[in-house]
Structure 1
Amino acid sequence: MKSVYKITLLFGITILVSSCHNTSAPNYQYFPNMYESVGYETYSESNAFKDGKEAQLPAEGSINRGFEPFDYENSTAGYELAKANLKSPLAVEDRNPEKGKELYDIYCMTCHGSAGNGKGKLVEREKFLGVPSYADRVITEGSIYHVVTYGLNSMGSHSNQLNPQERWLVADYVLKLKSEL
């Protein structure tokens, strides 16, 4: 008799539990904003920032991670100062002519040519005119580094493609090419 009661009780609980389940409505959601987030317009005003600005500015005086400040400004005066005073911080064992050539071939050769004579592929195809030969210029490692960092005339900056050590390697290789012209 006890087993009949147990079976009946189990059957009753099963019916009770299954009758409460509604397949057309979702279950309870904990943290519903995670499941159904509010969509914000990308550049809309928000009360998340001070004064209703679209974005928050970085703290004053902060610099980007991995950024190394360059003490010479992007001007003719800064170029002349770099030309006169700036020296490579690379130690002799850190100078890698093969890596310098590899970087030069990627970033510089298309305009300046493989020998540094200003006769690269883009100059031969007349896309750029007036690219100087290294033999015609008075250049130092500091002036080369400054130009690679900021750019000069038609040449744009390569500071976001080359880190500071790579720029010094390119400067070393350019001086090597100049000595061979």
Structure 2
Amino acid sequence: MNKTGVFGLAFLAVSVATILSSCHDKRSRGLEYAPNMYYPIAYNPDQKNKNFENGITAQVPPAGTTPIGFTRFDEFPNTAEGYEAASASVVNPLPVTKENLAQGKHLYVVMCGPCHGKDGSGNGHIVELGKYPAPPSYATGNSSRGGAMKDLTDGKIYHTIQYGLNLMGSYASQLSPEERWKVVMYVHQLQKGQQ
């Protein structure tokens, strides 16, 4: 057999093999290097799950559990009694340092400043629009819960950040517990009339 015949026979064999190999299961991805990337082991949250009685994968956490990285404040409920109890027993665990005060100031300006103002006098941008009443000044105003704003304790400020008050909503989802304490620390500076 000559070279052309051998070459033609080899080409024909490769062509037939290619056609035959492409005719089997169309759903097959062929050789898979890491099959668990294609077929996940874990259930998707919206997928049915035979391991639970109700057949739902996304289960509600058991009562009384605490998510990782979450700090509970349940012992001080969102009531007047909880507010007073927090005032009496909650103390800022962070040391007063230049770094903590600087971070507290930044968080305050970003989160609280639009309403309370940069200096805590209640003249923030939202108030200047004229659509909302001004919150009381930290240095000279009176709290809607009674008493002077300059006398607010760590616990009262933290409780208010946690739950909100009047038109102020809760900032528990925007500020971590450590960030809240830094804001509390900076608010104390504003109560003294310092920035």
Normalised TM-score (structure 1)? 0.74
Partner SS, residue 160 of structure 2: helix
Equivalent residue for 1:140? 153
Q: Deviations over 1:81-107 (max 9, x none)?
A: 112221111124486221111111101
How far off its partner does 1:118 sit?
Answer: 1.2
How far off its partner does 1:18 sit?
Answer: 4.3
CA–CA distance in structure 2, aligned partners of residues 105 and 65 of structure 1: 28
Q: How does 1:123-134 map to 2 (within 5 A)?
A: 123-134=127-138
CA contact (8 A) 1:95 1:169 kept: no
CA–CA distance in structure 1, aligned partners of residues 100 and 49 of structure 2: 53
CA–CA distance in structure 2, aligned partners of residues 43 and 56 of structure 1: 10
Partner SS, residue 173 of structure 2: coil
Q: Which deviates further from its counterpart, 19-28 or 134-143?
A: 19-28
Deviating beyond 6 angstroms after TM superposition, the runs of 4 or more aligned structure 1 residues are: none
Equivalent residue for 1:85? 89
Which ranges of structure 2 fall in alignment gaps of 5 or more residues?
A: 40-44, 142-147
Q: Deviations over 1:1-29 (max 9, x none)?
A: 9xxxxx6xx85865763452346963745
Provide the alpha-carbon RMSD of the alignment. 3.6
Q: Deviations over 1:24-74 (max 9, x none)?
A: 96374579xx979xxxxx979x46342345732223432111001123112
Question: 1:69–1:17: structure 2 CA closer, same or farther, 3 Å change rule?
Answer: same
Aligned residues: 171
CA–CA distance in structure 1, aligned partners of residues 189 and 178 of structure 2: 17
CA–CA distance in structure 2, aligned partners of residues 103 and 18 of structure 1: 65
Q: How does 1:50-69 map to 2 (within 5 A)?
A: 50-53=53-56, 55-69=58-72
Which residue, 148, 163, 170 being the options, matches 2:183? 170
Q: Deviations over 1:128-176 (max 9, x none)?
A: 1141122222411211111011111110111111111111111111111
Q: Which deviates further from its counterpart, 159-168 or 50-59?
A: 50-59
Q: Deviations over 1:95-127 (max 9, x none)?
A: 622111111110111111122111111112112
Identity score, percent? 38
CA contact (8 A) 1:123 1:129 kept: yes
Match for 2:20: what amino acid? C
Question: 1:114–1:26: structure 2 CA closer, same or farther, 3 Å change rule?
Answer: same
Equivalent residue for 1:118? 122
Which ranges of structure 1 fall in alignment gaps of 5 or more residues?
A: 2-6, 37-41
Equivalent residue for 1:39? none
